[in-house]
Amino acid sequence: MRWLLNALSTSVGRKVVLAITGLLLCGFLVAHLAGNLLLYVGDEGKSYNDYAHALHEQAALLAVAEVGLFGLLIAHIVIALQVSAENRAARKVGYAVTRSKQEGRYAAEGYRPDTWMLVTGILVLGFLVLHLMDFKMELRDKSFYLDSAGLDAKPFEKAKNLLSTSNLITIVGYAIGSFALLGHLAHGFQSAFQTLGINHPKYTPLIKLVGLLFAIAIGIGFASFPLVWSMSH
């Protein structure tokens, strides 16, 4: 299997790994967002709690999924950092002036998502760490995890506590993280297809459109919890 390692360690191979892990992580985002959207069901958290309960029942499966996701994430991050560092190093002496030649790009110089992947990626990573601290590891202030009776709160209750307007760290962190995710996906989704060799005059425009809509849906979807849902609870 040395051939596989060799093949995946070239500049093209590593991008392929980046694309595949990225797309798989997109799949996770869809599932996660779908689950979270249950917060909006107006039944005082019953659906959401049931969902969380059902999920945690599958302990073995969950463990496998978590390890898998963690693996994908680590691979994605490590390769991304490595590739970024190498790409930067490929031009030791820079230009005094640079200006895009892409049509319509001039005005938006520097604000296109594709040139900010490292930054948005790091912001999303920060968001993820905070999110895991909040919900997974429960490392924040104990009061967030207790209900009014001082007992261990149900998931819905915890979400309400953590996403309360008084917990600015979470609100602001999640909002920034969600928009960074939007930016990251806006380039990443369609770029992954190009990297995997999928470029066709009939389908590429569609892929680009879907990628943009996907990024907006995921980004706005996640941003809605700190910005919309939290206000109404």
Q: Which residues bind another protein (CB under 8 A)?
A: 3-4, 6-8, 10-16, 83, 86-103, 105, 112, 114-115, 117, 187, 191, 194-199, 201, 204
CA distance 10 to 16: 10
Nearer to another protein by Cβ, of 24 and 69: the residue is 24
Nearer to another protein by Cβ, of 70 and 106: the residue is 106
DSSP string across 139-170: -S-GGGGB-TTSSBPPHHHHHHHHTSTT-HHH
Least distance to another protein, CB of residue 13, Å: 7
Least distance to another protein, CB of residue 218, Å: 19
SS3 70: helix
CA distance 113 to 135: 29
Nearer to another protein by Cβ, of 45 and 113: the residue is 113
Least distance to another protein, CB of residue 79, Å: 10
Q: Is 153 in contact with 147 (CB distance < 8 Å)?
A: yes
Least distance to another protein, CB of residue 206, Å: 15
Nearer to another protein by Cβ, of 30 and 196: the residue is 196
106 to 28, 97, 112, 123, 202: CA distances (angstroms)? 35, 13, 10, 26, 27
